[in-house]
Amino acid sequence: MSTVVHTHDLPADWRDLFALTKPRVMTLVVFTGLCGLLAAPGTMHPVLAFTAVLCIAVGAGGAGALNMWYEADLDAKMKRTAKRPLPGGRLKPETAFQFAVGLCLGSVVLMDLATNHLAAAILAFSIFFYVVIYTAWLKRRTPQNIVIGGAAGAFPPLIGWVAVTGRIELLPVLLFSLIFLWTPPHFWALSLFVKSDYANAGVPMLPVTHGVVNTRRQIALYTVPMVAVAVAPWPLGLTGAIYGVVASVLSAVFMALSLRVLANKATDPAAMGPEKALFKFSILYLFALFGALVVDRFA
């Protein structure tokens, strides 16, 4: 019987399993969940609060891993994703599936034990939404895939809030709506400069199905209600001026960048500076608004 362990194999395996959880994208998902939890009225034992945030991270990671398990065939066709653990042949699909299901189930059960049924149910629903509604159902069928399916990524602040209060209230619903309306400009800006990847893989993303001009119009169109929802908590008296000022200023920048995208006539990805700027700014924007929400709450 051989007991030789190739130690250099072990870290590679763990790195691949970790990569399966989409750690870079999920940092913002987890941050918005953490901020939803911190912004909620009431107190929670720090260990339970940490556990709740951990559950959001593990649940989101498990959902990301199930997404990669399901779409290994698509990922193999796109330059951006071809080297992922499954298309790269570094991980067996069964291993990925078991790991992913373990994370998803573990996160929901632990959330239920540590917080309340409603928070656990919303976590379960968002995993279901990302994996089944977005990945398995809509992504390959309609360019509205990310509008509807994107709702999955909007749940974390609500989950964080409900973990503390046990109730759904207006502010976390506005935070949900903010991310829901933010997702189309975030993703469509990116999809404009990686359009050929999606076209090659046969994924019906908006620039592929409805063209570059239409996609730019849609980005600007979603930015208007997004900005309104972003600022709304301040005049509604749900937050103070710190959040209000940060949200107003950064929303004005977001609007300006999306108008620059609308004005851009280029179709060559090399000339898509405004799109690249909007995509990068979209990430900073959510980090900043959610950060300001927490600072405001404790100021």
Ligand X SMILES: CC(C)=CCC/C(C)=C/CC/C(C)=C/COP(=O)(O)OP(=O)(O)O
Inter-residue contact 114 to 51 (CB < 8 Å): yes
Using CB under 6 A, which of the segments 45-53, 119-127, 259-267, 286-294 binds ligand X? 119-127
CB 200 within 8 A of CB 77: yes
256 binds ligand X (CB under 6 A): no
CA distance 15 to 19: 6
Site for ligand X in 32-91 (CB under 6 A): 56, 59-60, 63-64, 67, 81
List the x/- string, 144-163, binding to ligand X by CB under 6 A: --------xx-xx-------
**Residue-by-residue DSSP string for 15-82:** HHHHHTT-HHHHHHHHHHHHHHHHHSSS---HHHHHHHHHHHHHHHHHHHHHHHHHTHHHHHHSTTTT
Contact window for ligand X (CB under 6 A) among 123-131, 204-212, 264-272, 279-287:
123-131
28 binds ligand HEM (CB under 6 A): yes
CB atoms within 10 A of CB 87: 19
Nearest residue to ligand HEM, using CB? Answer: 153
Contacts for 79-82 with beta carbons within 8 Å, 24 or more apart?
79/197, 80/194, 80/197
Residue 190: name its binding partner from ligand HEM, ligand X, none (Cβ under 5 to 8 Å by kind): ligand HEM
Judged by CB under 6 A, the number of residues near ligand HEM is 18
- In the complex, the smallest distance separating the C-beta of residue 1 from ligand HEM, rounded to whole angstroms, is 42
Given the structure tokens 């405001």, which residue do they identify?
A: 296
41: alpha, beta or left? (left if phi > 0; alpha if psi -120 to 50):
beta
Which residue, 41 or 225, has its beta carbon nearer to ligand HEM?
A: 225
**Could you tell me which residues come within 8 angstroms of residue 167 by beta carbon, excluding any fewer than 6 positions away?**
118
Min. distance of Cβ 152 from ligand X in angstroms? 4
Residue 280: both structure tokens together: 């990068």
25 sits near ligand HEM (criterion: CB under 6 A): yes
Q: Is the C-alpha dihedral spanning 215, 217, 220, 226 positive or negative?
A: negative
Binding mask 201-240 for ligand X (x = CB under 6 A): ----------------------------------------
Please say whether the dihedral angle defined by the alpha carbons of residues 110, 114, 118 and 122, taken in this order, is positive or negative. Answer: negative
Q: Which is nearer to ligand HEM, 49 or 181 (CB)?
A: 181
Contact pick of 17, 29, 171, 178 for ligand HEM (by CB under 6 A): 29
Stretch that binds ligand HEM, among 10-18, 61-69, 180-188, 206-214 (CB under 6 A): 180-188
Number of neighbours of residue 60 by Cβ within 10 angstroms:
31
Chain contacts with ligand X (rule: CB under 6 A): 22, 25, 29, 56, 59-60, 63-64, 67, 81, 123, 126-127, 130, 139, 152-153, 155-156
Chain contacts with ligand HEM (rule: CB under 6 A): 24-25, 27-29, 32, 134, 146, 149-150, 153, 179, 183, 186-187, 190, 283, 286
